[in-house]
Amino acid sequence: MFKEAKQNRVFQDVVEQIQGAILNGKLMPGTKLPPERELKDMFNTSRGTLREALRVLEQKGLIEIKLGVSGGAIVKHIGTDPIVESLALLIRSGGVSLEHLAEFRIKIEGSLMELAASRATKKDIKELETLFNQAKACYEKNDWENFLKTDERMHTYIGTMTRNPVFQFVQKSIHDNIHRYYAEYLPMNKERTLENLTDFEKIIDAMKVNDAKTASAIIMDHVKRFSDKMQAKINSDS
């Protein structure tokens, strides 16, 4: 499966060969890579170079390195966790501001919502209504923490409704990380939660009559309104 690495770029070649084998399906999730000694001979490289290449592949989320007698490098299912974690760190470090997120969400979620509404099935709408009712129950119990978690699931499910994995990833990445802003700048209360619920109820109603344009307009207004509230809080604190 592997061949001797090009000696002028050994490290990069080792990474690219193993990565390529994973991405093209030659190495499936759960497969254990050959032992380190065999890999070293296959690539004709040093143990140090091989281990560094494996660490890079682990950081990319392509393999998991397990220690012990039965350990080794195991191919992982390719997921979005490393990218989501990187976005979370970027947000926490201040590299992505609230204004950046608001601008991005208004543009993207409007299009995403329009596509989701146009492709929504009766089953999709029923699932969204179930989540809406769970959020409403949290509202009635003044359970703001679980309300936000349910709100996150509603937004993420709208990404699922697009049937487009890129939109799904974008929506999940944003909403896995955005609620830290609510906690810091706009804690939920009865009034804000009701406003949030009302917007989602209107979105669901628009979906029921296949009015994708209205659903899109509602979500863009929703994002702008709540972002403006948080920005006002930031400005008043500064």
Helices 98-119/165-175 angle, 10° precision: 140
pTM beyond 0.85: the answer is no
Domain 81-237, CATH among 3.40.50.720, 3.30.310.50, 3.50.50.60, 1.20.120.530: 1.20.120.530
Residue 80 confidence (pLDDT): 65
Determine what percent of the chain is predicted with pLDDT higher than 90.
65
Beta-bridge partners for 65: 73
Q: Name the CA radius of gyration of the chain, rounded.
A: 23
**β-sheet bridge partners, residue 72:** 66
pLDDT at 70: 79
Q: Domain boundaries in the chain? A: 10-75, 81-237
**pLDDT tens for residues 45-76?**
999 999 999 999 998 889 999 988 778 999 99
Q: Tell me the CATH number for domain 10-75.
A: 1.10.10.10
Grouped pLDDT means (10 residues each) for the chain, 238 residues: 80 94 93 94 94 92 88 86 72 78 91 96 97 97 94 94 91 82 85 96 97 97 93 84
